[in-house]
Chains A and B, each alone.
Chain A
Amino acid sequence: MQVKENFEPVIVAFCCNWCSYAGADLSGTNRLNYPTNVKIIRVPCSCRVNPMFILRAFQKGADGVIICGCHPGDCHYTSGNYFTRRRITLLYSMLDFLGIERNRTRLEWVSAAEGAKFAATMQQFTEDVKALGPNRRLEDLRCRKQ
């Protein structure tokens, strides 16, 4: 695949309010840098993330989508992330089945105490998506930026 010079991917991160969003805040508090490409959307729980949102992001020009939630067993709502895990596993598997690059999607568990993990995860994910280049397989040409 032809990779543009200085390709800056658009990355949408869905973070659950109780763990991962707080983890993202902590990486801010600790001044742990991660790329500006990552933009966070706050959701109450990772189980709020509908597959439609993920597809919508790719449609509108995202190059990578990452979902972050509480570690299994630590969900504020006790079971939300267990449902997330099944749903998102199956969805990612389906995207893979359709030939969408695996590294464009990720699910990570980040606790409120894991500011460093949050920053490192975002760093790594951004690099992985950069290496893939722009999203072409699941884009909507009408939404492509020139």
Chain B
Amino acid sequence: MQRIGVFVCHCGTNIAATVDVKAVAEALGHEPGVVISQDYQYMCSESGQELVKNAIKEQKLTGVVICSCSPRMHENTFRKAAASAGLNPYLVEIANIREQCSWIHKDIATATEKAIILGRTAVAKVHLNTPLNSMESPVVKRALVIGGGIAGIQTALDIAEAGFDVDIVEKQPTIGGKMAQIDKTFPTLDCAACILTPKMVEASQNERITIHSFSEVADVKGFVGNFTVKIKKKARFVDETKCTGCGLCTEKCPMKKVPNEFNMGLDNRSAIYIPFAQAVPKVATIDPNYCMMLKTGKCGVCSKVCSAGAIDYKQQDTFIEQQYGAIVVATGFNPINLDKYDEFAYNQCPDVVTSLELERLMNAAGPNGGTLLRPSDKTHPHTIVFVQCVGSRCDDEKGKPYCSKICCMYTAKHAMLIREKYPDTEVYVFYIDVRTPGKNFDEFYRRAVEQYNVHYIKGMVGKVTPKSDGKIDVQASDLLANEQLHINADMVVLAAAIEPDKTARPLATMLTTQMDTNDFFTEAHPKLRPVESATAGIFLSGACQGPKDIPETVAQASAAAAKAIGLLCKNSITCNPCVAHSDELMCNGCSSCEKVCPYGAITYIDKEFRMPDRTTKVRRVASVNPAVCQGCGACTVACPSGAMDLSGFSNSQIMAEVDAICK
């Protein structure tokens, strides 16, 4: 026989002002099985909880209904209270008579009537509640970092520092990411490689860090604490364990006309290549799109010159499967494609470059050895025009609606470096707004203007026209002077908007994490949980979550690491016990449930059944892994026989609620 206690909260006047709480308590006291029905000022307060606890003990309650605010507010509070009084926490139900009643209705009579129905519904449900016990699920003490840029490297280093194993999966042949391509960093102007490469080396030498370069995440299964990830190691046709990185093969390779992606295609590399001198791992990779041996079967030079015998033309993609407790996403960004911006002549004129290309043009390891020369004729540019917000802050389908955040600062940096190195060069920056919030940022920008005499012009470039004499006509407006300008430039630099890496979207699907319309990962809470995704155990690091500069990226990377470490420190995590379960006697083994399960929590086993005639029969039946199931209930409806049901939201419980509402 059920002994149910009903507790009606006044919530001060929040409920009591529009709901006659005494009448509710009185009415619910007459519901079947209810042995005690009380009202109280603040049920969630210490003394209110005490009231509930005492009643559980004194009245030997088998179920509790709290008529109060939304279960999203205090369901856990009351579950804990019940547990401390010795009642299974899942024998508590909340009737939401504040958000869904007193706050939205004004008439006391109808609001009270509705509150009674809501209470009655909760009583009807609690009659069918069963004690549920949370399972403990172990945490695998290993983290996966997806992306080996500065964000991924920093996160991996921090996690390794805390004593946990970390794997980095990087799709390029080397880690380092965008920062490796950058020449100098703002606002200190120190060399990016000088601060990045030691970290890359540190990562490669840390025995807790495993780097899977030239690899991709192929599949993710499981859940917080216990993800199973399939990693595809793409064939690089070079045995990583044998290659010494001597680089002889790259010198001897006869195919040298491959656009060098590390230098943004501004020069060429060989078909077998090491992206840059400080690459980690320093291992050669063969580009199958250009390698003559792989394409035609004729060549084999690299194999002949390799004394380590590392070349393997027959290498295949391989897959490794590994368990992880936490996953950190650090997939980073790319500049957008500028094909649609005809007005800037990016595709027509080699001397119109993006800012990232300019980084390479100015870098000592770049195509010109650090001397700034025009890509077209290798002459010194004397007039350079920078265009801000190319594709950022756009309300059209060509660009991005957001501010890319980093362009103002790197443009100031570029302008300053050029004026420093080549004082005879005139530098114009066309800006809409100069946005420099950040420590020492505005000072930096002012230095560019005041000390280096960079011409900042408020206005936008409307048209860039390459001329026959090799010069470039830049037509722009100077809004403050109210005039239209024509600048006879040698080079134009476009501050292209940045966007999340294209691999992020399919990855989000695999990870079951959410993204915004711009394909940036969505954080669990924009203010209070900025480095966690809404999916437990998945953390966000760096520009995959939104545009960020290096200091911010590193800060977020360490924050994500801290969150991951917090998870990995636990030996086990408590699972939600409201999961699906299948009645084997009724299950047909038809696989409908398995097909709709987003977590792969359902498997099939052949089970022996004893028949009434004493024979045995083997049937295929579904089996739910309660640690993997998240309790959505999709399977319960897919199941035609009704064998599949959901604890906490069972068919009979929901139907009892329906009945109570419609009574």
Mark A residues whose CB is within 8 Å of B: 10, 12, 17, 21-22, 24-29, 31-34, 36, 39-45, 47-53, 56-57, 60-62, 74, 76-80, 83, 87, 119, 143
Assembly CA distance A78 to B646 (angstroms): 18
Least Cβ–Cβ distance between B452 and chain A, in angstroms: 46
Q: Chain B residues with Cβ under 8 A from A80's Cβ?
A: 598, 632-634
Assuming the A-B contacts A41-B661, A47-B637, are A25 and B72 also in contact, with contact meaning beta carbons closer than 8 angstroms in the complex? yes
Among A31, A47, A74, the residue within 8 A (CB) of B633 is A47
Q: Which residue of A lies closest to B110 (CB)?
A: A36
- Asked if B662 and A78 make an inter-chain contact with CB atoms under 8 angstroms apart, the answer reads no
Check if A34 sits within 8 Å of B104, measured CB to CB: yes
* Nearest CB of A to B81, in Å: 20
Residues of B with C-beta under 8 A to A49 = 637
Contacting chain A: which of B373-381, B390-398, B650-658?
B650-658
CA distance A10 to B659 in the complex (A): 11
Q: Which of A31, A40, A119, A143 has the most CB of B within 10 A?
A: A40
- Residues of A within 8 Å of B633, CB to CB, are 43-45, 47-48, 80
CB <8 Å contact, A50 and B636: yes
A36 in contact with B598 given A41-B661, A50-B636, A62-B661 (CB within 8 Å): no
Question: A10 contacts which chain B residues (CB < 8 A)?
Answer: 661-662
- Interface status of B283 (Cβ within 8 A of chain A): no
A36, A41, A48, A61: the one within 8 Å of B105 (CB): A36
Q: Complex Cα distance A61/B103, Å?
A: 26
Most chain A beta-carbon neighbours within 10 Å: one of B630, B636, B658: B658
Shortest Cβ gap from A53 to chain B (Å): 6
Q: When the two chains form their complex, are residues B662 and A57 in contact, meaning their CB atoms are under 8 A apart?
A: yes
B622-663 contacts to A (CB < 8 Å) = 630-634, 636-638, 646, 649, 651, 654-655, 657-659, 661-663
Q: How far is the CB of A10 from chain B (nearest CB, A)?
A: 6
A36/B662 contact (C-beta < 8 A), A27-B104, A28-B98, A28-B99 known: no
Q: Determine the chain A residues whose CB is within 8 A of the CB of B634 once the complex forms.
A: 45, 47-48, 77, 79-80, 83
The residues of B with any CB-CB pair to A shorter than 8 Å are: 70-72, 96, 98-101, 103-106, 110-111, 113-114, 117-118, 121, 509, 512, 514, 534, 578, 596, 598, 630-634, 636-638, 646, 649, 651, 654-655, 657-659, 661-663
CA distance A99 to B412 in the complex (A): 70
What residues of A have a CB within 8 angstroms of the CB of B658 in the complex?
A: 12, 41, 53, 56-57, 60, 62
Instruction: Given the known inter-chain contacts A45-B633, A50-B651, please indicate yes or no for A77 contacting B598, CB distance below 8 A.
Output: yes
Closest Cβ–Cβ distance, residue A122 to chain B (whole Å): 9
Contact partner of A52 among B512, B651, B662, B663, CB < 8 A?
A: B651
- CB <8 Å contact, B632 and A45: yes
Pick the residue among B71, B111, B638 that contacts A36 (CB under 8 A): B111
In the bound complex, how far is the Cα of B628 from the Cα of A73, in angstroms? 21
The verdict on A41 contacting B651 (CB below 8 Å), with A28-B103, A49-B637 known, is no
A83 CA to B106 CA, complexed, in Å: 38
**Nearest CB on B from A41, distance (A):** 5
Q: Least Cβ distance of B308 to chain A in Å?
A: 46
Measured between alpha carbons, how far is A47 from B596 in the docked complex, in Å? 10
B113 touching A36 by the CB < 8 A rule? yes
Instruction: Tell me, in angstroms, the Cα distance from A93 to B309 when the chains sit together.
Output: 67
Q: Find out whether the CB atom of B638 lies under 8 angstroms from the CB atom of A24.
A: no
Instruction: Tell which of B70, B117, B657 touches A25, judged by Cβ atoms closer than 8 Å.
Output: B70
Contact A62 B631 (CB under 8 A): no
Distance, CA A45 to CA B635, complexed state (A)? 11
Bound complex: CA A42 to CA B70 (Å): 11
Q: Is the CB of B662 within 8 A of A31?
A: no
**A25 and B99 within 8 A (CB):** yes
Q: Chain A residues near B118 (CB, 8 Å)? A: 39
Q: What are the residues of chain B within 8 A of A74 when measuring CB–CB?
A: 514
Set of chain A residues within 8 Å of B111, measured between Cβ atoms: 36
Q: Is the CB of B598 within 8 A of A78?
A: yes
In whole angstroms, what is the CA distance A47 to B514 when docked?
Answer: 19
Complex contact B631–A31 (CB within 8 A): no
A119 to B100, CA, bound (A): 10
Chain A residue at minimum C-beta to C-beta distance from B630:
A77
Within the assembled complex, what's the spacing in Å between the Cα atoms of A44 and B101?
Answer: 21
Contact of A44 among B70, B71, B121, B631 (CB under 8 A): B631
> Out of A36, A47, A143, which one reaches B632, CB within 8 Å?
A47
Distance between Cα atoms of A39 and B70 in the complex (Å): 14
Contacts of B117 in A (CB 8 A): 39
Q: List chain B residues, Cβ under 8 A from A62.
A: 658, 661-662
Q: Smallest distance from the beta carbon of B295 to chain A beta carbons, Å? A: 41
Q: Which one of A41, A83, A87 lies within 8 Å of B654 (CB-CB)?
A: A41
* Contact yes or no, B661 A56, CB < 8 A: no
With a cutoff of 8 Å between Cβ atoms, the chain A residues found around residue B121 in the complex are 39, 41
Task: Determine the residue in chain B with the shortest Cβ distance to A30.
Answer: B103
Partner of A24, one of B99, B512, B578, B655: B99
Chain A contacts of B70 at CB under 8 A? 21, 25, 28
Please give me the residue from chain B that is nearest to A8 by CB atom. B110
- Please pick, from B72, B104, B514, B654, the residue contacting A21 in the complex, using a CB distance under 8 A: B72
Nearest chain-B residue to A14 (Cβ)? Answer: B654
- Considering residues A40, A56, A78, which has the most beta carbons from chain B within 10 angstroms of its beta carbon? A78
CA distance A36 to B654 in the complex (A): 20
Tell me the nearest residue of chain A to B661, going by C-beta.
A39
Given contacts A43-B654, A47-B637, contact A28 B646 (CB under 8 A): no
Point out the residue from B98, B105, B598, B637 that lies within 8 Å of A50, measured CB to CB: B637
With A39-B121, A44-B646: A79-B598 Cβ-Cβ less than 8 Å: yes
Q: How far is the CA of A28 from the CA of B73 in the complex (A)?
A: 13
Contact B637 A48 (CB under 8 A): yes
Q: Note all chain A residues with C-beta closer than 8 A to B631.
A: 44
18 A-B pairs whose Cβ atoms sit less than 8 Å apart in the complex: A28-B99, A29-B99, A32-B104, A36-B114, A39-B117, A42-B71, A44-B578, A45-B632, A45-B633, A48-B633, A57-B661, A57-B662, A60-B662, A62-B661, A62-B662, A76-B534, A76-B632, A78-B509
Bound together, the chains give a CA A24 to CA B20 distance in angstroms of 22
Cβ-defined partner of A60 (8 Å) among B100, B101, B637, B663: B663
In addition to A53-B654, A53-B655, 9 A-B residue pairs with Cβ atoms within 8 Å of each other are A21-B72, A29-B99, A31-B104, A39-B117, A41-B657, A45-B634, A48-B637, A57-B662, A74-B514
Name the CB-closest residue of A to B596: A83
Of B72, B121, B654, chain A has the most CB atoms within 10 Å of the CB of B654
Within the complex, what minimum Cβ distance (angstroms) separates A133 from chain B? 17
Specify which chain B residues have a CB less than 8 angstroms from the CB of A25 in the assembled complex: 70, 72, 96, 99-100
CA distance A7 to B649 in the complex (A): 32
**Contacts A39-B121, A42-B71, A62-B662 hold; do A87 and B637 have CB atoms under 8 A apart?**
yes
Interface residue from B632, B636, B646, B663 paired with A61 (Cβ < 8 Å):
B663
